Amino acid sequence: MLEYILRECQLVIEQKFDHSSNQLNFYFHYQPTTYHLHIHIRLKKSLILKTDILVEESLENLTISPNFYKEATLLFVKKEKDELLEKFRQLGKQMETINNSMR
């Protein structure tokens, strides 16, 4: 499904906006950063955030191993008082906290 979405988005952007897909980053957010998977598209000169999951990188990871994301340790960023983060803690999930002094 991600391959199809990526391919169709590339076609539409190239046709409608005259941007080559190699000028763009296709990324998505998903749990636990957000509840629903959704894809973003932006120029490659923009910053990539820790919450951004590149679609092409994800497809490559799944090609390497279909179980890649079952076995991987994933980084996600939540505020200290976030409800979802609290639920993870209640379930006894191992969480590493990074002190961010740049607030």
Catalytic residues: 38
Q: What is the DSSP string of 13-75?
A: HHHHH---GGGEEEEEE-TTT-SS-EEEEEETTSPPPTT-EEHHHHHHHHHH-TTHHHH----
**Most distant CA pair in the chain, distance:** 49
What are 6's two structure tokens? 């990526």
